[in-house]
Amino acid sequence: MIESISLAALIKKYDIPVPRYTSYPTVPCWDTTNFNTEKWIDAVSRSFRESNDTKGISLYIHLPFCESLCTYCACNTRITKNHNVEIHYIRTTLKEWGIYKKIFGRRPLLRELHLGGGTPTFFSAENLKWLIGDILEDANIHDDYEFSFEGHPNNTTADHLKTLADLGFRRVSFGVQDLDEKVQRTINRIQPFANLQEATHLSRINAYTSVSYDLIYGLPFQTPATITDTVEKVLTLKPDRVSFYSYAHVPWLRPGQRGYEDADLPTDVMKRHLYETGRALLRSKGYEDVGMDHFALAHDPLFKAQHNGRLHRNFMGYTTNETDLLIGLGTSAISDAKYAYAQNAKKVEDYAAAIANNTLAVFKGHLQTEQDLQLKKCILAVACEGKVRRQDLLSLGDEEILPTLDAMKQEGILSANIDGFQVTALGRAFVRNVCSVFDQRMKNTQTQNQKLFSKAI
């Protein structure tokens, strides 16, 4: 029987710092003591040999430059209006790719390619053509490929969209966040709705089959009325999918977030109400929940991937295909070679200096243990399918996990059947908490990592 627990009580209990689980273990919990570049190269080589000819590989390129700082942002960025930086950065990134190609030993089979940032459309269309063109020149393309990029509605041009479409890009994600003027001024991201309309129109006429918007709830001065207005406006443009993220308030890590007071943020209960307000509007227009934080129409590849059991999650977020090797190029980019993780130097200058010296720019990493891989499998099942399989639980042999899941069942966050546990409709807002049940490394370092994650709700 489900215990009679109020929503407010559940929020109070579970609104604690936990990761977003684009990996396991998460970066702050990596064991870096036994890691070195040689071991990383071995892991990349092994993963490439095992999976390139079948699954193919994923490629993430981090383009960190932005002309102005959005104060809510927790990404690794470099603020500048000097576009001369584009040339040197692209040369460095292509040289890094050349180092990885030597490790591969033969042509890679590209299945996923994503441009993230920063602001990828900070770069000119001509320079993006140079970057992507050089990468594709020495690679084969998987039959079931997906190329995507993040665009800013204020500076994504018809030239950007056509150039990337000609190179095989069919998905674009626009960072909207919020359309209320007061909220926009507070987070220093002024973008008129007309710019989003134009960018979306240009995407459609350039054959982009999946147009996505990123929205954020929990920002300063948001109310149910402003959330309603933002969601209703963006839905008039009929995006194929919408990401509805919880604002990560970590001013101790991102000083830009000190531009407003904690009192300007919604309370935990109100934040949950903002989420439910936006979710109800999305679902009323035919958007279905996909994983956590995402909504998609039935024709969108992300929805189909979930329906067909192919939804995957990695450092790029949710993806439509699972690959075992993800190479991250650029400053601060993170790579996943199945048996190990690695992150590039966070400063542009340090990254460029390493590559100029003909070495990888990796500055830390983690070697996966068998237990890590088992726990990662469970966490991905929760994040992608909303499921906890009983057979996976039995293989873990952890006596603490099952009682915790049973408690979540009593609270209505999970339901149970002969095959295991399933996240309920109520539990969708607590998926990160369910994932954290399996996070042994976070539990072992709970005190020191407490302030490295945003709150779950």
Is 67 marked as binding a ligand? no
Is 117 marked as binding a ligand? yes
User: Which own/partner pairs from 136-142 qualify as long-range (CB within 8 Å, at least 24 positions apart)?
Assistant: 136/110, 136/167, 136/168, 138/101, 138/107, 139/107, 139/108, 139/109, 139/110, 140/107, 140/108, 140/109, 140/110, 141/109, 141/110, 141/168, 142/56, 142/109, 142/110, 142/111
Is 70 marked as binding a ligand? yes
Q: Please tell me whether residue 11 adopts helix, strand or coil conformation.
A: helix
Task: Return the exposure string of 186-223: e unless at least 16 CB atoms fall within 10 Å of the residue's CB, then b.
Answer: bbebebeeebbeebbebbeebebebbbbbbbbbbbbbb
Is 189 marked as binding a ligand? yes
Both tokens assigned to 242: 């919408």
Is 191 marked as binding a ligand? no
Is 199 marked as binding a ligand? no
Q: How crowded is residue 359: how many other Cβ atoms within 10 Å of its Cβ? A: 12
Is 72 marked as binding a ligand? yes
Both tokens assigned to 152: 């800013």
Is 214 marked as binding a ligand? yes
Is 177 marked as binding a ligand? yes
Closest listed residue to residue 249, CA positions, set 227, 224, 222 = 222
Give the contacts of 400 (CB within 8 A, at least 6 positions apart).
Answer: none
Q: Which helix (H) or strand (E) holds 211?
A: strand 210-217
Quick one: DSSP state of residue 308?
A: T
Both tokens assigned to 423: 């996240």
Task: List, in sequence order, the alpha helices (H) in 209-339.
Answer: 224-235, 268-284, 301-307
Is 105 marked as binding a ligand? no
- Annotated binding residues for [4Fe-4S] cluster: 66, 70, 73
- Annotated binding residues: 60, 66, 70, 72-74, 117-119, 150, 177, 189, 214, 248, 334
- Annotated binding residues for S-adenosyl-L-methionine: 60, 72-74, 117-119, 150, 177, 189, 214, 248, 334
